[in-house]
Every structure is written in structure tokens, then in C-alpha cells.
Structure 1
Amino acid sequence: MGTTMTKEKANKVYDLLVSIGGAYEPNRNSFIYHHTESKDGCSEWRFSGKLGFGGKYRSGYNRVDCYREDETPERIKLMDELNGALAKI
């Protein structure tokens, strides 16, 4: 079973995924639905963006990661920045 959250928190999370992580803004409504209204919730969301195809937001941990083979020093720094921002909400 996935995790659900309030719409306010889901929007704040997606704001960060877009502004820092490069997520695609038109996917916001789908993200909000799956994290707030879907009966199954959502435990992970592939947002790709600056973290590549494997870039995921994991709602149970309120953190992002990417495929290990896609990690670069720049992506690790980006994940650290984004995870730090996520920890504040």
C-alpha cells in the first residue's frame, strides 16, 4: 500500500520536484491525485527530470533518489539539495 498526504503537502513536494529536480509541471495534477486521493496511495513517483529516467520521489521517506548507475557527482549534489529541501516540509 502506498502513502497518502494532504493536498497542501503534495503541492509543496511537487513545487520542489519542479524547481530543484526539473520535474515536468504538467504532471502535477496526476502526482497530487495519486498521493492524496487514490485508494492505494503512492509509495514512489518517477519524476525523472534532472535525475534521469530513474529519478524517483519516495513518499514513505519523503526523499528522492535515482538509479545508482546514473549517479554522478552533480546528481548526488542535486539529490542532497532536494532531500534537504524536502526535509523542511
Structure 2
Amino acid sequence: MKSSAGCRYTEDEARKMGVVGWVKNTRQGTVTGQVQGPEDKVNAMKSWLSKVGSPSSRIDRTNFFNEKEISKLDFSGFSTRY
């Protein structure tokens, strides 16, 4: 996902799935971000990011880390950071 259009597509998918957080394209041509929500919804978003992605993306691999349970959400929606 190298364009802001790809990030907007990811935003739309996150909203449909009911997760919050953010996504950002890096200068290295990768995508970074954070996803929060109920475990089943986060897992569904992780699956989408790993297997589907935006129409313009090429997914070589995904790396999820720092996963933990939280008592409250840090975000109220899903956005693109620049």
C-alpha cells in the first residue's frame, strides 16, 4: 500500500469491521499502524491486512507485534497518519 488511497481503503475496512486505530505509509514502502478493538474484530482485521489489503497493495509479509489486552480503547475511530 503505497498511496493515501490505499490507506483510505484500509480506513473504510477498519470502520466496517468495527476496530479503531491508525495506519501510515512509511518511506520504506511499508505500512505501519495500530489496531484496537474486541479480539475477534482485531483478528479479522489482521486477516484482511495479511491476505487482502487495498486493491493497489502487494502483500509480501505481515508482522504483528506488541499485542496485549487493554482496559479501554485509546482511539475513537480509524485514521490515516501522515
Q: TM-score, normalised by structure 2?
A: 0.40
Higher helix share goes to which structure? Answer: 1
Higher strand share goes to which structure? Answer: 2
Which structure is richer in relative contact order (CA contacts within 8 A, separation 6 or more)? 2
